[in-house]
Amino acid sequence: MRNAVLFAILLATGMVLSAWMGIDDSRRETGRAANLNTSQRRPPLKEGEILIWDPGSASPPAPRKAPAGGRAAAPNLPVHPAEPYAPIYEPAFASHPFYQGTRQLIRLARRLGAPRPDDWRSLVREPEQDFGQFVRNSRRASGALVIQPIGDLPADQRRAVGHILDSLSAFFGMRAVCSAPIPLAGLPPQCFRTGGGVRQINAEALMALVLGPLVEGDVCSVIAVTNLDIYPGGNWPFAGAFGWSSFESGTAVVSTAMILDRSRADRGRNLLRLTKLALHEATHTFGLKHCSRFNCLMNGTGNIRESDAKTLALCPDCLAKLSLVTGRGPELHIEDMFGLCRAKGFSGDARYYQLAMRLLKS
């Protein structure tokens, strides 16, 4: 009874918040995008510096100067050994329809090249997630995805929340709703830190103390959206982060502070950046880790250039994983995402999904 009441409250709140966000059906018009304006921080590393960080190490190394004309050698850091990568199309899974469907899309996949010194794969060492690891560390998606605004978002970003709800629904094939904003004054003091005159939210504390208790009953995952800088806490070596997530608690935090660019009157570009970030972090809550084989929505992002370079689509490997999580075949996912990209004006990704539809029907 309690779960049913909680879900009913969330649905009612979502309807009320449509007025708060200023959303109407016109947002579905082709090419329509929210005007997302906010300040963008400078990268935490100075030009010519690199910083390679291993999450398993006791403390992060200090920035080092990269040699002229080349990349610096990686410091001798302790790294968790990666298990040998096992392609998802191994014989044990070959008969599964999700694998058969996604295998055809290999023809459209683009392998990643060598990373630049300031790219995620150069800065953070993490093992590849093979399919066996995913099966052992994933969960089925069921219920509702909840967007939880933190603080008083500007009007343009409130409108953007409506676009994110559309994207979550199309991507996961699930209902997405928006909850009432939580004022900053209502957050525990452990959720904040101030450094260099910038107030930041501790993402780990926010997820543990505030968001985690919201994941119950028919609520599957909670994705917080804030316009404050965030950092994960602990030994994170950078000034901030685009987003953070937790598979264990089913929660994520997305910050607009570093991802949006107010120097350009390009609403569509900013909306695409925010959509990629929200879908990336939400997908982490179901057990998918970073992809380092193909150009993929699940590529790690160390800078805004990487965010712009990666696609809004999952690579075949990650799409097979998502299909197992949602129970929805890749064909339906691709059709829904093609419709979304066409409606939002994401023309480049719409072309990819159109090709993918044709390939799966051939």
Q: Is residue 245 part of a domain?
A: yes
Band (100; pLDDT cuts 50, 70, 90): low
The total number of structural domains that make up the chain: 1
pLDDT above 50 (res 125): yes
pLDDT the model gives residue 198: 82
Query: Phi/psi at 219 (nearest 5 deg)?
Result: -90, 120
Q: Is residue 52 part of a domain?
A: no
Q: Is residue 95 part of a domain?
A: no
pLDDT above 90 (res 53): no
Q: Is residue 35 part of a domain?
A: no
Q: What is the 3-state secondary structure (H, E, C) of 163-232?
A: HHHHHHHHHHCCEEEECCCECHHHCCHHHEEEECCEEEEEHHHHHHHHHHHHCCCCEEEEEEEECCEEEC
Q: Is residue 88 part of a domain?
A: no
How far apart CA 323 and CA 172 sit, in angstroms, is: 9
Q: For the segment 129-168, what is each residue's pLDDT rounded down to a tens digit?
A: 876 677 777 777 788 999 999 999 988 888 889 999 999 9
pLDDT above 70 (res 72): no
CATH code of the domain in which 239 resides: 3.40.390.10
Band (41; pLDDT cuts 50, 70, 90): very low
| % pLDDT > 90, the chain | 41
pLDDT the model gives residue 308: 92
The residues, ordered by sequence, that sit 6+ positions from 171 with a Cβ below 8 Å of its Cβ are 279, 282, 283, 333, 336, 337, 340
pLDDT the model gives residue 312: 97
pLDDT the model gives residue 231: 87
Band (205; pLDDT cuts 50, 70, 90): very high
Q: Is residue 94 part of a domain?
A: no
Q: Is residue 30 part of a domain?
A: no
Band (361; pLDDT cuts 50, 70, 90): confident
Average model confidence (pLDDT) across the chain? 76
Lowest mean pLDDT among 196-200, 204-208, 282-286: 196-200
Which runs of consecutive H residues, i.e. helices, occur in the chain? 2-21, 97-103, 120-123, 131-136, 155-172, 203-206, 267-284, 304-309, 316-326, 330-344, 347-361
Q: For the segment 259-292, what is each residue's pLDDT rounded down to a tens digit?
A: 877 666 567 888 999 999 999 999 999 999 999 8
pLDDT the model gives residue 334: 95
pLDDT the model gives residue 97: 66
Domain that includes residue 309, residue range: 2-23+101-361
> Whose CA is closest to 251, among 284, 226, 229?
284
Q: For the segment 232-245, what is each residue's pLDDT rounded down to a tens digit?
A: 877 666 667 899 99
Query: Phi/psi at 288 (nearest 5 deg)?
Result: -75, 130
Q: Is residue 163 part of a domain?
A: yes
